[in-house]
Protein backbone atom coordinates (compact mmCIF):
# COMPACT_ATOMS: atom_id res chain seq x y z
CA UNK A 1 0.00 0.00 0.00
CA UNK A 2 1.40 3.42 -0.86
CA UNK A 3 2.31 5.59 2.10
CA UNK A 4 1.39 8.78 0.25
CA UNK A 5 -1.22 8.84 -2.49
CA UNK A 6 -2.43 11.73 -4.62
CA UNK A 7 -5.39 10.78 -6.83
CA UNK A 8 -6.69 13.13 -9.54
CA UNK A 9 -5.57 16.07 -7.45
CA UNK A 10 -6.28 19.59 -8.66
CA UNK A 11 -5.34 22.92 -7.19
CA UNK A 12 -6.84 26.22 -8.21
CA UNK A 13 -5.54 29.33 -6.49
CA UNK A 14 -8.04 32.15 -6.13
CA UNK A 15 -6.88 35.69 -5.56
CA UNK A 16 -8.78 38.21 -3.46
CA UNK A 17 -9.71 40.05 -6.65
CA UNK A 18 -11.51 36.93 -7.87
CA UNK A 19 -8.94 35.84 -10.48
CA UNK A 20 -8.13 32.17 -10.43
CA UNK A 21 -5.18 30.10 -11.57
CA UNK A 22 -5.31 26.37 -12.00
CA UNK A 23 -1.86 25.21 -10.99
CA UNK A 24 -2.53 21.46 -11.00
CA UNK A 25 -5.07 19.18 -12.64
CA UNK A 26 -5.39 15.38 -12.53
CA UNK A 27 -2.15 15.03 -10.64
CA UNK A 28 -1.54 11.38 -9.72
CA UNK A 29 1.34 10.05 -7.66
CA UNK A 30 1.85 7.16 -5.28
CA UNK A 31 4.86 7.03 -3.00
CA UNK A 32 5.72 3.73 -1.35
CA UNK A 33 7.24 3.50 2.15
CA UNK A 34 11.02 3.97 2.02
CA UNK A 35 11.05 5.55 -1.44
CA UNK A 36 13.22 8.57 -2.17
CA UNK A 37 11.19 10.39 -4.79
CA UNK A 38 12.62 13.43 -6.50
CA UNK A 39 10.15 15.68 -8.25
CA UNK A 40 11.47 17.77 -11.11
CA UNK A 41 9.85 20.36 -13.29
CA UNK A 42 10.24 23.81 -14.79
CA UNK A 43 9.98 26.86 -12.56
CA UNK A 44 6.36 27.61 -11.68
CA UNK A 45 5.03 24.20 -12.76
CA UNK A 46 3.63 23.44 -9.31
CA UNK A 47 6.28 21.49 -7.39
CA UNK A 48 6.02 23.54 -4.20
CA UNK A 49 2.24 23.38 -4.47
CA UNK A 50 2.38 19.56 -4.46
CA UNK A 51 4.71 19.54 -1.45
CA UNK A 52 2.64 22.07 0.48
CA UNK A 53 -0.48 20.02 -0.06
CA UNK A 54 1.18 16.81 1.14
CA UNK A 55 2.53 18.78 4.12
CA UNK A 56 -1.02 19.88 4.86
CA UNK A 57 -0.32 23.61 4.46
CA UNK A 58 -2.37 24.03 1.30
CA UNK A 59 -5.72 22.46 0.65
CA UNK A 60 -6.22 20.74 -2.70
CA UNK A 61 -9.33 21.82 -4.58
CA UNK A 62 -10.01 18.51 -6.37
CA UNK A 63 -9.25 14.85 -5.89
CA UNK A 64 -7.90 13.02 -2.89
CA UNK A 65 -4.67 12.96 -0.90
CA UNK A 66 -4.03 10.24 1.66
CA UNK A 67 -1.19 9.34 4.00
CA UNK A 68 -1.38 5.80 5.41
CA UNK A 69 -4.69 5.55 3.55
CA UNK A 70 -6.19 8.36 5.64
CA UNK A 71 -7.29 11.66 4.08
CA UNK A 72 -5.09 14.57 5.14
CA UNK A 73 -6.39 16.89 7.79
CA UNK A 74 -3.53 19.39 8.02
CA UNK A 75 0.10 19.37 9.11
CA UNK A 76 1.24 16.67 11.55
CA UNK A 77 4.40 15.41 13.22
CA UNK A 78 4.67 12.42 10.87
CA UNK A 79 5.73 14.82 8.10
CA UNK A 80 8.83 17.01 8.52
CA UNK A 81 9.11 19.87 6.07
CA UNK A 82 12.15 21.78 4.84
CA UNK A 83 10.88 24.78 2.89
CA UNK A 84 12.31 26.45 -0.18
CA UNK A 85 14.44 29.44 0.90
CA UNK A 86 13.22 28.94 4.45
CA UNK A 87 14.10 31.60 6.97
CA UNK A 88 11.99 30.50 9.88
CA UNK A 89 14.57 29.93 12.60
CA UNK A 90 13.70 31.60 15.88
CA UNK A 91 16.10 34.55 16.10
CA UNK A 92 16.12 34.54 19.92
CA UNK A 93 17.24 30.92 20.15
CA UNK A 94 20.75 29.60 19.49
CA UNK A 95 21.32 27.11 16.66
CA UNK A 96 21.10 24.27 19.18
CA UNK A 97 18.05 25.85 20.79
CA UNK A 98 16.38 25.90 17.40
CA UNK A 99 17.18 22.25 16.75
CA UNK A 100 15.91 21.31 20.21
CA UNK A 101 12.73 23.35 20.05
CA UNK A 102 10.48 20.68 18.53
CA UNK A 103 11.87 18.05 20.87
CA UNK A 104 11.08 20.23 23.86
CA UNK A 105 7.55 20.71 22.58
CA UNK A 106 7.25 16.94 22.20
CA UNK A 107 8.21 16.54 25.88
CA UNK A 108 11.49 14.73 25.26
CA UNK A 109 13.67 14.77 28.40
CA UNK A 110 16.48 17.31 28.53
CA UNK A 111 19.39 14.85 28.29
CA UNK A 112 18.03 13.03 25.25
CA UNK A 113 17.11 16.35 23.68
CA UNK A 114 20.66 17.63 24.06
CA UNK A 115 22.16 14.45 22.70
CA UNK A 116 19.91 14.39 19.67
CA UNK A 117 20.43 18.09 18.93
CA UNK A 118 24.22 17.69 19.12
CA UNK A 119 24.07 14.60 16.92
CA UNK A 120 22.15 16.38 14.16
CA UNK A 121 24.23 19.55 14.51
CA UNK A 122 27.32 17.48 13.82
CA UNK A 123 25.60 15.64 11.01
CA UNK A 124 25.02 18.88 9.12
CA UNK A 125 28.67 19.84 9.64
CA UNK A 126 28.17 22.53 12.28
CA UNK A 127 29.77 20.93 15.31
CA UNK A 128 30.93 23.64 17.70
CA UNK A 129 28.65 26.30 16.17
CA UNK A 130 25.58 25.46 18.23
CA UNK A 131 25.84 28.49 20.51
CA UNK A 132 25.47 30.96 17.62
CA UNK A 133 22.23 32.75 16.97
CA UNK A 134 20.67 32.89 13.48
CA UNK A 135 21.92 36.47 12.96
CA UNK A 136 25.48 35.16 13.41
CA UNK A 137 25.09 32.38 10.83
CA UNK A 138 25.55 32.46 7.06
CA UNK A 139 22.65 31.64 4.73
CA UNK A 140 24.00 28.14 4.08
CA UNK A 141 24.55 27.52 7.81
CA UNK A 142 20.99 28.62 8.56
CA UNK A 143 19.66 26.27 5.92
CA UNK A 144 21.64 23.40 7.48
CA UNK A 145 20.20 24.23 10.91
CA UNK A 146 16.70 24.09 9.42
CA UNK A 147 17.49 20.64 8.04
CA UNK A 148 18.96 19.49 11.37
CA UNK A 149 15.86 20.80 13.14
CA UNK A 150 13.56 18.77 10.92
CA UNK A 151 15.72 15.63 11.08
CA UNK A 152 15.96 15.86 14.90
CA UNK A 153 12.20 15.37 15.12
CA UNK A 154 12.72 12.07 13.29
CA UNK A 155 9.54 12.24 11.22
CA UNK A 156 8.44 9.23 9.19
CA UNK A 157 8.19 11.33 6.04
CA UNK A 158 10.61 14.04 4.90
CA UNK A 159 9.26 16.70 2.56
CA UNK A 160 12.09 18.81 1.19
CA UNK A 161 11.68 21.72 -1.20
CA UNK A 162 15.02 22.48 -2.86
CA UNK A 163 16.72 22.26 0.54
CA UNK A 164 20.24 22.60 -0.87
CA UNK A 165 19.45 25.26 -3.45
CA UNK A 166 21.24 28.03 -1.58
CA UNK A 167 24.37 26.06 -0.69
CA UNK A 168 27.71 26.23 -2.48
CA UNK A 169 28.53 23.22 -4.69
CA UNK A 170 30.92 21.67 -2.17
CA UNK A 171 28.59 21.90 0.85
CA UNK A 172 25.73 20.79 -1.31
CA UNK A 173 27.53 17.62 -2.33
CA UNK A 174 28.43 16.88 1.31
CA UNK A 175 24.82 17.43 2.38
CA UNK A 176 23.55 15.15 -0.40
CA UNK A 177 25.83 12.38 0.85
CA UNK A 178 24.71 12.96 4.44
CA UNK A 179 21.07 12.85 3.44
CA UNK A 180 21.67 9.60 1.56
CA UNK A 181 23.34 8.01 4.57
CA UNK A 182 20.51 9.16 6.85
CA UNK A 183 18.04 7.74 4.37
CA UNK A 184 19.98 4.46 4.07
CA UNK A 185 20.10 4.14 7.87
CA UNK A 186 16.48 5.07 8.58
CA UNK A 187 14.67 4.32 5.29
CA UNK A 188 12.49 7.33 5.73
CA UNK A 189 10.13 8.15 2.92
CA UNK A 190 11.35 11.25 1.13
CA UNK A 191 9.65 13.62 -1.28
CA UNK A 192 12.42 15.88 -2.50
CA UNK A 193 11.94 18.76 -4.90
CA UNK A 194 14.72 20.00 -7.10
CA UNK A 195 15.25 21.41 -10.55
CA UNK A 196 18.75 19.99 -10.72
CA UNK A 197 18.85 16.74 -12.72
CA UNK A 198 22.22 15.78 -11.23
CA UNK A 199 20.85 16.15 -7.73
CA UNK A 200 17.87 13.96 -8.61
CA UNK A 201 20.00 11.21 -10.18
CA UNK A 202 22.37 11.33 -7.19
CA UNK A 203 19.62 10.96 -4.62
CA UNK A 204 16.46 9.37 -5.94
CA UNK A 205 15.12 5.85 -6.11
CA UNK A 206 12.53 7.27 -8.51
CA UNK A 207 12.28 10.55 -10.39
CA UNK A 208 9.00 12.22 -11.30
CA UNK A 209 8.96 14.85 -14.04
CA UNK A 210 6.08 17.31 -14.22
CA UNK A 211 4.53 19.03 -17.20
CA UNK A 212 4.86 22.80 -17.53
CA UNK A 213 1.94 24.69 -15.97
CA UNK A 214 -0.87 25.65 -15.91
CA UNK A 215 -2.94 22.56 -15.09
CA UNK A 216 0.26 20.63 -14.57
CA UNK A 217 0.42 16.95 -13.81
CA UNK A 218 3.02 14.24 -13.71
CA UNK A 219 4.51 13.55 -17.14
CA UNK A 220 6.45 10.40 -16.30
CA UNK A 221 8.36 8.67 -13.54
CA UNK A 222 11.68 6.91 -13.96
CA UNK A 223 13.04 4.25 -11.64
CA UNK A 224 16.64 4.86 -10.64
CA UNK A 225 18.23 1.48 -10.05
CA UNK A 226 21.76 2.62 -9.31
CA UNK A 227 24.10 1.55 -6.53
CA UNK A 228 25.94 4.15 -4.48
CA UNK A 229 29.07 3.53 -6.57
CA UNK A 230 27.13 4.04 -9.79
CA UNK A 231 25.84 7.42 -8.65
CA UNK A 232 28.71 9.18 -10.28
CA UNK A 233 28.60 11.47 -13.27
CA UNK A 234 31.07 9.32 -15.19
CA UNK A 235 29.07 6.12 -14.76
CA UNK A 236 27.19 4.80 -17.83
CA UNK A 237 24.05 3.96 -15.84
CA UNK A 238 24.03 7.44 -14.34
CA UNK A 239 24.40 9.05 -17.75
CA UNK A 240 21.53 6.96 -19.14
CA UNK A 241 19.14 8.11 -16.40
CA UNK A 242 20.36 11.69 -16.74
CA UNK A 243 19.61 11.64 -20.47
CA UNK A 244 16.13 10.19 -19.96
CA UNK A 245 15.23 12.89 -17.45
CA UNK A 246 16.82 15.59 -19.55
CA UNK A 247 14.76 14.56 -22.61
CA UNK A 248 11.53 14.63 -20.57
CA UNK A 249 12.33 18.03 -19.15
CA UNK A 250 13.69 19.69 -22.29
CA UNK A 251 10.30 19.79 -24.06
CA UNK A 252 8.61 21.20 -20.96
CA UNK A 253 11.17 24.00 -20.69
CA UNK A 254 10.45 24.90 -24.33
CA UNK A 255 6.69 24.90 -23.65
CA UNK A 256 7.09 27.04 -20.52
CA UNK A 257 9.24 29.57 -22.41
CA UNK A 258 6.76 29.74 -25.28
CA UNK A 259 3.82 30.26 -22.90
CA UNK A 260 5.72 32.94 -21.03
CA UNK A 261 6.43 34.91 -24.19
CA UNK A 262 2.97 34.63 -25.78
Ligand X SMILES: Nc1ncnc2c1ncn2[C@@H]1O[C@H](COP(=O)(O)OP(=O)(O)OP(=O)(O)O)[C@@H](O)[C@H]1O
Residues 177-236 that bind Mg ion (CB under 5 A): none
| Max intra-chain CA distance, the chain | 60
213 interacts with ligand X by CB under 6 A: yes
80 interacts with ligand X by CB under 6 A: no
158 interacts with ligand X by CB under 6 A: no
- Specify the residue, 21 or 92, whose C-beta has the smaller distance to ligand X: 21
Please provide the size of the chain in residues: 262
Compute the distance between CA of residue 188 and CA of residue 154 in angstroms, rounded to an integer. Answer: 9
The answer to whether the beta carbons of residues 160 and 193 sit under 8 Å apart is: yes
Rg for the chain (alpha carbons), in Å? 19
Residues 172-211 that bind ligand X (CB under 6 A): 195
Residues 37-66 that bind Mg ion (CB under 5 A): 48
Compute the distance between CA of residue 167 and CA of residue 188 in angstroms, rounded to an integer. Answer: 23
- Specify the residue, 117 or 209, whose C-beta has the smaller distance to Mg ion: 209
Judged by CB under 6 A, the stretch of 41-49, 97-105, 219-227, 232-240 that binds ligand X is 41-49
Out of 41, 80, 134, 208, the residue judged to bind ligand X by CB under 6 A: 41
Compute the distance between CA of residue 219 and CA of residue 252 in angstroms, rounded to an integer. Answer: 9
How many CB atoms within 10 Å of residue 254? 12
Out of 4, 35, 40, 46, the residue judged to bind ligand X by CB under 6 A: 46
20 interacts with ligand X by CB under 6 A: no
Our CA angle for 254, 259, 262, nearest 5°, is: 125
- Applying CB under 6 A, which residues contact ligand X? 13, 21, 23, 41, 43-49, 84, 195, 213
Amino acid sequence: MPLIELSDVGKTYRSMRGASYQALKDFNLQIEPGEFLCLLGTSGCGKTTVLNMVAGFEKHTEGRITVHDRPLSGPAADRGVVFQGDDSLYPWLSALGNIEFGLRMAGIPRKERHERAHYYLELVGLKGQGHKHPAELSGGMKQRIQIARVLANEPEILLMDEPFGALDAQTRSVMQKELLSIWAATRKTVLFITHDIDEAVTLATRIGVMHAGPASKLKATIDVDLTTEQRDRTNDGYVTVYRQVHALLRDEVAIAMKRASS
